[in-house]
């Protein structure tokens, strides 16, 4: 995939005030990529702000530089360039929408979502990349940016989390070569990062998982499994949003299941769906039908309506999808 790195280098050279953001409900790829770009701008002695409206999820606070991420931008500084990482749509950028009114703002869109709308003035999108962190690794190679172990940790976290620690089908030979360099050259310890991300769960998050698993159902000829996380459960256990991120994988991991769905009631009549799939189904297309998007194997969307009705409507739609195949 040919990306116009030269155009990006020109923008980096000729501007001084940058703002960097990622997608809402940030994951490891979003935060790792955000910090990696921050390190690059620091090295190039640029003025920059790293913005994520929800802050950095606690699970990623081990990343150096995470304390630099702010929830709101400084209104006294007018940015010249906005760099968006890991975000497929303008509306999903994790910063106040008044940013789009800044006159003359140049938008650089660095991403790997196949559903990316190309909202940037410059779009550096590689849907073949396992993670945005992988796209940024390319950028660093092209720029000859010799980074250090903090950057390597951010990139490793980005790539590891988006590949399910190298289990998903987006894991390529290049992904493994890249992480091999991070381990060999920068001393990254994969076991430590895996422990930070996966072995520090709160007691409450595991108890809540127990309740969510009790809602698990399988249908549509054993091909689809789904679970519900509703508001009463959320308020009972009070766990951070990202702690529930992995729940959907239990649905997907059942033998014979091709699609796993978690229905999460964000608030009354607002249901967030996490879709996960095996090799035979592209869930980004199914999520797109409901105004969402993502990747072939992991996608999301939000649907308005009572949870029971949303579950019924979605299962009806998936039934039709299988009937039409």
Binding pattern to ligand 5GP, positions 68-107, x when CB under 6 A?
--------------------xx--x---------------
4, 108 Cβ separation under 8 angstroms: no
Judged by beta carbon, residue 223 or residue 252, the one nearer Mn ion is 252
117, 90 Cβ separation under 8 angstroms: yes
Report, in Å, the least distance between residue 112 CB and ligand 5GP: 9
Whole-angstrom distance, CA of residue 226 vs CA of residue 250: 9
Binding pattern to ligand 5GP, positions 19-48, x when CB under 6 A?
----x-x-----------------------
310, 226 Cβ separation under 8 angstroms: no
Question: Given the structure tokens 């903090």, which residue do they identify?
Answer: 150
Report, in Å, the least distance between residue 75 CB and ligand 5GP: 28
Q: Give the residue among 288, 294, 4 at the shortest CA–CA distance from 121.
A: 4
Report, in Å, the least distance between residue 255 CB and ligand 5GP: 22
Q: Give the residue among 69, 1, 81, 72 at the shortest CA–CA distance from 38.
A: 69
44, 12 Cβ separation under 8 angstroms: yes
134 binds ligand 5GP (CB under 6 A): no
Judged by beta carbon, residue 88 or residue 124, the one nearer ligand 5GP is 88
Judged by beta carbon, residue 111 or residue 258, the one nearer Mn ion is 111
Choose among Mn ion, ligand 5GP, none what residue 135 binds, the Cβ cut-off being 5 to 8 Å by kind: none
Strand partners, 304: 270
Element (H, E) at 277: strand 270-277
301 binds ligand 5GP (CB under 6 A): yes
Q: Give the residue among 196, 158, 195 at the shortest CA–CA distance from 62.
A: 196
Binding pattern to Mn ion, positions 27-46, x when CB under 5 A?
--x-----------------
Choose among Mn ion, ligand 5GP, none what residue 52 binds, the Cβ cut-off being 5 to 8 Å by kind: none
Q: Give the residue among 143, 98, 103, 105 at the shortest CA–CA distance from 3.
A: 143
| Closest residue to Mn ion: CB criterion | 29
Q: Kindly write down the DSSP assignment for every residue of 49-95, as one continuous string.
A: EEE-TT---GGGTTSTTGGGEESS--TTS--SEEEEES-SSGGGBSS
Judged by beta carbon, residue 65 or residue 293, the one nearer ligand 5GP is 293
Residues in region 127-156 near Mn ion by CB under 5 A? 131-132
298 binds ligand 5GP (CB under 6 A): yes
Interface with Mn ion by CB under 5 A: which range of 48-56, 85-93, 191-199, 311-319? 85-93
Question: Given the structure tokens 């790829």, which residue do they identify?
Answer: 29
265 binds Mn ion (CB under 5 A): no
Binding pattern to ligand 5GP, positions 226-265, x when CB under 6 A?
-------------------x--------------------
Collapsed DSSP state (helix, strand, coil) of residue 106:
strand
Strand partners, 265: 271
Question: What residue ranges in 126-236 does DSSP mark as E strands?
Answer: 217-219, 224-229
Whole-angstrom distance, CA of residue 205 vs CA of residue 207: 5
295 binds ligand 5GP (CB under 6 A): yes
Report, in Å, the least distance between residue 302 CB and ligand 5GP: 5
155, 136 Cβ separation under 8 angstroms: yes
115 binds ligand 5GP (CB under 6 A): yes
What are the residues binding Mn ion (CB under 5 A)? Answer: 29, 86, 131-132, 162
What are the residues binding ligand 5GP (CB under 6 A)? Answer: 23, 25, 88-89, 92, 115, 245, 274, 292-295, 298-302
């Amino acid at each position: 995939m040919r990306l116009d790195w030269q155009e990006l280098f020109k923008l980096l050279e000729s501007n001084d005030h940058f703002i960097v953001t990622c997608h809402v409900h940030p994951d490891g790829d979003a935060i790792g990529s955000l910090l990696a770009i921050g390190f690059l701008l620091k090295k190039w002695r640029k003025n920059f702000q790293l913005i994520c409206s929800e802050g950095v999820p606690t699970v990623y606070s081990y990343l150096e530089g995470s304390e630099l991420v702010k929830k709101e931008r400084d209104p006294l500084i007018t940015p010249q360039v906005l760099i968006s990482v890991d975000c497929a749509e303008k509306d999903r950028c994790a910063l106040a929408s008044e940013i789009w009114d800044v006159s003359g703002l140049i938008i650089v869109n660095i991403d790997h979502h196949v559903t990316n709308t190309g909202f940037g003035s410059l779009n550096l999108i590689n849907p073949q990349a396992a993670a945005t962190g992988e796209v940024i690794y390319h950028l660093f190679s092209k720029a000859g940016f010799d980074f250090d172990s903090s950057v390597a940790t951010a990139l490793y976290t980005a790539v590891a989390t988006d590949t399910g620690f190298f289990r998903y089908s987006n894991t390529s030979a290049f992904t493994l070569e890249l992480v091999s360099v991070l381990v060999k050259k920068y001393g990254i310890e994969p076991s430590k990062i895996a422990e930070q991300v996966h072995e520090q769960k709160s007691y409450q998050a595991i108890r809540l998982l127990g309740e969510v698993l009790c809602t698990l159902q399988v249908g549509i000829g054993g091909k689809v499994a789904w679970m519900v996380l509703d508001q009463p459960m959320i308020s009972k256990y009070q766990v951070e949003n990202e702690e529930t991120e992995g729940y959907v994988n239990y649905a997907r991991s059942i033998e014979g299941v091709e699609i796993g769905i978690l229905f999460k009631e964000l608030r009354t009549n607002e249901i967030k769906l996490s879709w996960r799939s095996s090799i035979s189904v592209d869930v980004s297309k199914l999520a797109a039908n409901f105004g969402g998007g993502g990747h072939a194997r992991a996608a999301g969307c939000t649907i308005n309506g009572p949870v029971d009705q949303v579950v019924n409507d979605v299962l009806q739609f998936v039934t039709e999808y299988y009937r039409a195949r």
